[in-house]
Amino acid sequence: MVRRFLPALMVVLLSGCSSVSYYSQLASGQWQLLRAREPVAEVIADASRPQLLRDHLVQSQKARTFASEHLHLPDNQSYRLYADIGRPYVVWNVFATTEFSLSPETHCFPIAGCVAYRGYYNQGAARGEAALLKQQGMDVSIGGVEAYSTLGWFNDPIMNSMMNWGDERLATLIFHELAHQRFYVKDDTEFNESYANFVEQEGTRQWRAARGLAPLSLSAVKQRDEFTQLVLDTRQRLEKLYAQPLSADVMRRAKAVEFERLRSDYRVLRDSRWAGDKRYDVWINQPMNNARLLPFGLYDQWVPAFAALFAQVGGDWVKFYAAVEKMGGLPVEERRAALRQLEVGGL
C-alpha cells in the first residue's frame, strides 16, 4: 500500500497545480485515513464495540454485496473496511465564484482532473482558505463531506462520519461512490456526478425492491425535485443578470433581489404544496451567494439523460456502463450534445 501511495503522492507534489503545503495536508489526511482502516468483519465480531455500530455495519455489507452482484459495481475491498476518523466530516470542500458569475473556480489534480472545489481535511484550514477568498471579493461556501471516492486507487472505507445515517442512506452512498470507481471522466464534474447520482437513485430503487420494500415516498422525491428546480431557476435568472452590461452597484442590488426571491418562492412552495414541511428551512435561511448554488448545477444536471440511457438499454447494467464509457470517451461538446439528445427523447 505504501509503495502504491508514494508514487502517486510524488506526482501530485511535482505537478505545480498548487502549493506544496496544500498537497501536504491532502497527503497527510489520506494517509491517516488509510492507517485507521480495519476490516468490517472484525468490527462486527468484536463484542466490545457498540452494538448499534455493529448492527449498522451488518446492514451495510448486505448493500455492499448487492452493489457488486446486482448493480455490477466493482467487487473489491472498498466499503468492506471501517475507519473511525474522530470527526464528523472527512473533508471540508471550499467552493468559490467571482461576485457576478456562477462559474466555479476550478482546481486541477493529476488523478481526478479539474474539479469545482478544494478539499481540506481540517475545518480550520478550510475556513482560512475561505477567508482569504472573501478578502479577494469572491463568493465562497464551505461544505462538510461525509465520504469520498479515491476512484479505485485505494480501498475506501466506511467511516464514522457516515454512521449517523440510516441504513438506506448508507447504502445509497456506497452505490454512488462505487459508481465513481466504475467510471470517471477527468475534468467533467457535471457528467461524473449526474452519472453517479443516477446509479445511486436506480440502485436504491432496486435495493428496496429486492428487500420487498415499497418505493420511496413520491412526496419526498417530488419535494426534492421541486426544491432543486427552484434553485436551478434562480441560477438561470442570475446567469441572465450577470450577462447584462450593468454597473457593479446595480448588479449587486439586483443579485440581492434574486436571492430574496428564492427565499420568498421557497416559502410559498413550502406552505402551499408541502403542507408546511420545513426540511429545507435551514439551508434556505443561511447567508446566500453564488457559491452556495454550485452543487445543484453540478450534481443534478444530466440525471434525466442517464435515466433515458438506462431505459434505452433495457435496464441492463453492463450495457449501461458500456454506453456511459463510450459517451465519456467523446470530446466534451459531443458528449454534452449526446446527453441533450437523450433528455429530449433518445439518439
Residue 8 phi/psi, 5° resolution? -65, -40
Q: For position 189, what pLDDT does the model report?
A: 85
Q: Mean pLDDT for the chain?
A: 90
| pTM, to two decimals | 0.83
pLDDT in tens, 290-301: 999 988 866 778
CA distance 168 to 19: 39
Quickly tell me which residue has 491517516 as its cell: 32
Q: How many beta carbons lie within 10 A of that of residue 300, not counting itself?
A: 20
Provide the percentage of residues in the chain whose pLDDT is more than 70: 93
| Minimum mean pLDDT range among 16-30, 100-114, 158-172, 323-337 | 16-30
Q: pLDDT grade, residue 164 (50/70/90)?
A: confident
Q: For position 44, what pLDDT does the model report?
A: 98
Residue in 216, 204, 231, 218 with CA at minimum distance from that of residue 274:
218
Per-residue pLDDT, averaged over 29-42, amounts to 95
pLDDT of 12 higher than 70: no
